[in-house]
Every structure is written in structure tokens, then in C-alpha cells.
Amino acid sequence: MSFDVTADAYLSFMGRYSEPLAGLFADWSGVRRGQRALDVGCGAGALTEQLVMRLGAPAVAAVDPSASFVSATQQRLATVDVQQAGAELLPFADAQFDAVLAQLVIHLMPDAVAGLREMARVTKPGGLVSACVWDHAGEHGPLATFWNAVHDLDPDEPGEATMPGTSDGDLAALFSSAGLVEVEASSLTVTRHYDSFDEWWQPYLLGVGPAGAYAAELSDAERSALRARCVELLPAGAFDVSALAWCARGVVA
Ligand SMILES: C[S@@+](CC[C@H](N)C(=O)[O-])C[C@H]1O[C@@H](n2cnc3c(N)ncnc32)[C@H](O)[C@@H]1O
């Protein structure tokens, strides 16, 4: 998936939402001082930083398959153990962490249940696995207007709506399939402000994630048509976008 981009590109596109989400998600996951935690799919380090604020850098590790993101998180948090790896093959022995978290990652895994099982493997018995994913299957994800415009012009394009964990209840079902117990689900919402349409549109042209990849593959004429449809769907002038993430957490038996 298209995350071989600079941290700056990521931050101006998705970081706008994932940075404020990270504190809410860390709180909802209940991480607390004295625990050791792993951030899986750390990206530019939004959640890693929140874990460090709560637990201290020596108690936090992070992984991401993207070399540019590993480097960005390592620069942001110099003393944290940051390694290049995917959720499916974590470079840790069994039962190393009290809490293993993944923010906005599960839907990108080729096999989400296998990824969650591997996250559970490195968690201590009685420890917590926790994840959140945007509501891409519903109308309240941060990219909903973009994908609605795409769908109006290209009805067969599913966007991110069919990805695992993106609908109400799906993430919790994946947790149960992965063998986690005492599974609980909830949702978190963040709201961001845009002064203009172009402030909102420009980050879609940076090639980040499935939406950026879709925009990059269009011809100039198709991209102009998509932009025009987005203009029609959004309010004129300044506007806010609220983004809802489904959350699930479960205990390792
Ligand atoms: C939407 S970003 C979220 C990044 C960060 N957690 C945040 O909230 O800002 C998705 C991240 O998942 C990573 N990723 C993609 N596939 C993955 C996998 N199989 N295992 C772990 N991370 C993965 C990407 O490299 C990217 O950094």
C-alpha cells in the first residue's frame, strides 16, 4: 500500500487526523505507567509519541514496514526502539509487552486476523491488544467526501469501504477470530478545520494511501472532474470535517 511517502506528505494528509486521534486512542486503550507497549504500523510516530508521554521512552517500541516512516519516527523520538517490520512478523520474542496497539493499520494488512494473532503473540498473557480503523465503510470516515465523489464518477470503485475493520462491529469480530477474549468495542471522533477547499484538496495529490494512489492514477481530465465533484459536495468557504474511528480492544488469554 502507498505509504512509501515522506513523513511530511503523510502528516499533511492523514496526520491531520491521526495526530489528535492518537491521544484519545491511547487513553481509551488504558495504557498506564509501568507498562511496556508496542506501536504497530507507527507511521510518522503520532501514537508512539503518546505512548512515550504516558510510559517513558524506554518502555515503548514501534515498528512500521515503510523505511521512510521508521526513519521519521526515530528522528521524532530518538531513544525509542523503532524497527522496520510488518504486523505479520514482529521482531520480538513471545510475551514481551503489556499492551500492543495499532492505530489505522488493521485495514491495510493482507491478513488482518494473522496480524492480530502475531500482535497477541508478543503480548503477555492478561495483556491488551488494541486497534482502531476509520469508518471507511460508513459516512463518517475522514475521506468520505473524496470516496463519495469517486463513487459518483466511477461507481465500480469500492474505495476503502470493503477493507477489514472499516464497518461497525467488524474490528471486534476480527479480534474474536484472532482468539482475543473480553473484546470491547467503541468509537472515537476527531474534528479538523479547513479554511478553504484547496487546503482540503491539495493533500490528496501527494500520493498517500489508497486515496492518494487512486488520485495519482487518474488522467488530468479525470482528476479535474473528480476535483469539480468534490467542490460540489463540500460547503463553500471554510468547513469542518469530523472523522470517526471504530476501536476494539481485547485481552490475551
Ligand atoms: C494510515 S497509516 C497510520 C500510521 C500511524 N499509526 C498513525 O496513526 O498516524 C498506516 C500505517 O500502516 C503501515 N502498514 C501498512 N501495512 C502494514 C502491515 N502489514 N503491518 C504493519 N504496518 C503496516 C503503513 O506503512 C503506515 O505507516
Sign of the torsion formed by the C-alpha atoms of 213, 214, 218 and 222: negative
- Angle between helix 112-121 and helix 170-177 axes, rounded to 10 deg: 60
Q: What is the pLDDT of residues 200-252, one digit of tens each?
A: 999 999 999 999 999 999 999 999 999 999 999 999 999 999 999 999 999 99
Q: Which residues line ligand 1 (CB under 6 A)?
A: 1, 3, 14-15, 18, 40-43, 46-47, 64-66, 69, 86-88, 103-105, 108-109, 115, 209
82 CA → ligand 1 middle, Å: 13
Q: How far is CA 105 from CA 97, 126, 173, 247, in A?
A: 19, 23, 16, 12
pLDDT of residue 182: 98
**Ligand 1: which of 60, 105, 188 to mutate, most ligand atoms within 8 Å of CB?**
105
Q: What is the pLDDT of residue 1?
A: 53
Q: How far is the CA of 210 from the centre of ligand 1 (A)?
A: 12
Angle at 242 between CA 239 and CA 247, to 5 degrees: 170
Question: Any idea which fold 7-138+160-190+244-251 has?
Answer: Rossmann fold (3.40.50)
- From the CA of 83, how far away is ligand 1's center (Å)? 13
In this structure, which amino acid lies at residue 206? L
Q: Rounded to the nearest whole angstrom, what is the distance from the C-alpha of residue 134 to the centroid of ligand 1?
A: 13
Which residue's CA is the nearest one to ligand 1's atom 22? 41
Percent of the chain with pLDDT over 90: 97
pLDDT tens digits, 134-162 = 999 999 999 999 999 999 999 999 999 99
Distance CA 23, CA 154 (A): 36
Q: How far is the CA of 149 from the centre of ligand 1 (A)?
A: 25
Q: Whose CA is nearest to atom 18 of ligand 1?
A: 86
For the stretch 216-223, contacts whose Cβ atoms lie closer than 8 Å and that sit 24 or more positions apart, written own/partner, are: 216/2, 222/153
> Residues 11-21: what's their mean pLDDT?
96
Q: Is the pLDDT of residue 2 over 90?
A: no
**CA 6/CA 208 separation, integer angstroms:** 9
C-alpha count within 13 angstroms, C-beta hemisphere, residue 38: 30
Band of pLDDT at residue 3, cut at 50, 70 and 90: confident
For CA atoms 147, 150, 156, 157, give the dihedral sign: negative
pLDDT band at residue 13, thresholds of 50, 70 and 90? very high
User: Which residues partner with 247 through β-bridges?
Assistant: 132, 186
Nearest CA to ligand 1 atom 5: 43
Look up the pTM and report it: 0.96
Shortest-distance atom of ligand 1 to CA 66? 25
As a whole number, the mean pLDDT across the chain is 97
Residue 28 reports pLDDT greater than 80:
yes
